[in-house]
Structure 1
C-alpha cells in the first residue's frame, strides 16, 4: 500500500462518521459501554461511513468517545467475530470488505427473495399499510443525499412491502443481505441515482395500489438489480477498468428467478 492510499484509509475520526448517534434513539438506549461502542461502529460501517480497508484506530476512537482503549478493543472483537473488521500487522484493525462477485451474488439473492415475498404479501396489504408506504415515498422524496436517513427510509420502504408475507426467516435473510451491501449502494450513489431510486419506489407502490401485484414484483426485482448495476459501474470506475456491460444471461436468470 503506498503512502497516499494509506493516508486516505487512515482518516481522522469525526462526528460525521457517527451522525446517526445524534438522532437514532435506538443507538442511545442504555447498554454496556462495549455494546454501545460496538453498535455505533457497526452502524457507521453499515452506513458506509468507513471505507473498505480503512483503519479503525483504537487511540482515536478512545479519544472520540472519551473512554479507555479497553472497551474499544472489546467492541472491535465483537465486530471481528461478525466479519465486519479484521486485524492486520502491528495490531491494527481495518474494515473488512466484499469483492464485486460477492456483492453481485448478494444483490441477485435479494432480488429473488424480495420479489417472491412481495408476491405473497401484496394481496394482503390493507389501506393502512398502503397509506404508510405512500408516506414513506413522500418522505423519501424530501431527502437530498444518500445520508443515514436515506438508509433508514430505504429499508423501511422495502420492509413494509412484504410485511404481510409471513416469511420471517426470509425477511431476516434479506435484512442481513441489506446490511452487508447498503454501504456499497450508498458509496456508488449519486443525486441522479437517488432520484431514480425514489421514482422506482413510487412505481412499485402505484402497481400495488392498482392491484397489479405481478408488475410490482417485477419492478421491485428490476429496482434491486439496477442498484447492483450502479455498484458494478462504480467499482469498475474506481478501479480504472473499462465499463463492460453486465452479462445478459446472468441478468435474465435473476429476473426470472
Structure 2
C-alpha cells in the first residue's frame, strides 16, 4: 500500500494495463453523477451507458491503482435517466478532498486540451504526447503543458483578530482571506507582501506556509499562508476589495468559505493558533 503522500495519480504512461477502468464524466464544467450519489467516479460497466454521449476521452493516469479516464460528454446526456449534473462548486461542498481533487484534474485537463489545439508559436496543429501529459506541436515539435496559475492566499493575524476582505463582486456579508496571483519574477512571499498591501494597505511579517490546493476556477494552485500584521490601518482600493475588517476570532463573519477550501482552512488554523497561544 502506498503512503498517503503518494496516493492518487500517477502519469498517463504509468497505466496498469488491466481491464480495470474508472471514469469521471464531465459535462462542460459540471460532473455527471448517479442520482442520489455524491461519488464522482463510475466504473467501466456504468460508463457504458454514457458512450453515446462521449465526445472525447482523455487518459488521466493511474488513480489509486486503477486506470482512470475523463470523458467529455455532450449536453444531451443531461436527459439520461438515473443521473444528474453536479456543479463543480457543489462538488467542493459535498465531496471529500480526494474527490474534489479528482474533479479539478478532470475538468482542467479537458479544458486545456480544448484550448490548445493549435501551437502558439507557429499556429500548427497539436497532438497528445505519447509519454506525458503534454500536447506536441506537429510542425515545430515543441511541447505544451497544462497551464496552472499560482496564487497566494493569506489570513493576516493581529493577536486575536484576523484580516478578512469582501471582493467587490461578492454579496454583502461574505468575507474571505486575501488572495492574488503571482506575477512574473515574484516569489510567493513577495507576492503575499504586495497583494496584502495593495488590497488592504496592511504590512506583514512572520509568514508561515500552511498548505496548497488545486482550485479549478479556472485553473489556479492556491498557496496558503498565515502572516502577522506589522501595521493595522486598513485602506482598501474599493476596486478589487470592497471592504476589509479586523475580526475577533469569537466574532467572525456569518458567511465564511467552507472548510473544504483553502481559505476556510486558513481561518480555522488562525482560530486554532489563537486558542493554542
- Greater Rg by CA: 2
Q: Report TM bin, short chain.
A: under 0.3
Larger RCO: 1 or 2 (CA < 8 Å, sep 6+):
1
User: What is the TM-score of this pair, normalised by structure 2?
Assistant: 0.26
TM-score (norm 1): 0.27
User: Where is the helix percentage greater, Structure 1 or Structure 2?
Assistant: 1
